[in-house]
Amino acid sequence: LHELEGDIDIGELEITSATENEPASVNIKFSEKVCGSGFPTLFHLDRSEVDKQMYMLKSEKDTSGIEGKVTTECFVRPVINEEYILYRKTRNEITSGPKRMTQVIDFNKDGRIGERIGSISELETMARKRKKMLMDKKRERLDKSHVMDMLFNAFEKHKFWTVKDLADFTGQPVAYIQELISEIGMLNKKDHKNTYELKPEYSYGRDESQ
């Protein structure tokens, strides 16, 4: 923003009122001059209550004082639409260069077909971090677009996932992941039995041997 000169429209706010079935929502649509060509422009603003006490402090020379108390946190996340999917495809194409290393995985070792794919310690570490973040939520269902974004992030790390591992990674119920994965993934019934990978329209640019 500091590089922009003159009077420029940064974007627009779309605020909808709460209804009986839907809570109030705030969407932010940035102008292309702010985001740049190819970058998503539509974002959703999530608000959540702060569980732990947080204060704003102001210090001047030798004195300090409390300015206020933080009661609400706001997070901005992209809305999953055609623009966002195209951005993810382009990003995958750029990052899937020769610098990536191919890891050969023996799925038949010890007869353990269809279990965790990749480094077990790595998956367990990621799962613990997700569970810690969502501990207070007790695996309640998050917004669909938020979970979809986490699923795309998972497939950037590994090409094949079981539903259970995706549930651990996202901290969401297995039944909820099973419902969502069918929209963006396809079930393998041969070489990588009982695992999912992204459908071709979502996995453009990935290294097939990863």
Q: Are residues 123 and 183 in the same domain?
A: yes
Q: Are residues 180 and 97 in the same domain?
A: yes
Q: Are residues 34 and 107 in the same domain?
A: no
Of 24, 25, 19, 72, the closest CA to residue 44 belongs to 25
Does residue 4 fall inside a structural domain? no
Rama region for 162: left / alpha / beta (φ>0; ψ in -120 to 50; rest): beta
Range of the domain at 33: 11-78
Task: Give mean pLDDT, residues 123-147.
Answer: 71
**pLDDT tens-digit series, residues 30-49:** 887 777 777 888 898 888 88
Q: Are residues 74 and 88 in the same domain?
A: no
Of the residues 30, 53, 78, the one at which a domain ends? 78
Does residue 128 fall inside a structural domain? yes
pLDDT of residue 96: 66
When the pLDDT of each residue in the chain is averaged and rounded to a whole number, the result is 78
Does residue 2 fall inside a structural domain? no
Of the residues 44, 78, 112, the one at which a domain ends? 78
In the chain, % helix, strand, coil (3-state, to 5) comes to: 35, 25, 40
Q: Are residues 149 and 186 in the same domain?
A: yes
- Structure pTM? 0.41
- Total number of domains constituting the chain: 2
Q: Are residues 74 and 87 in the same domain?
A: no
Phi, psi of 133 (to 5 degrees): -65, -35
Q: Are residues 99 and 180 in the same domain?
A: yes
Q: Are residues 74 and 89 in the same domain?
A: no
Q: Are residues 71 and 171 in the same domain?
A: no
Q: Are residues 99 and 132 in the same domain?
A: yes
Residue 146: pLDDT over 60: yes
Of the residues 78, 95, 119, the one at which a domain ends? 78
**pLDDT tens-digit series, residues 148-170:** 999 999 998 898 999 999 998 99
Residue 130: partners with Cβ closer than 8 Å, 6 or more residues away: 168, 169, 170, 171
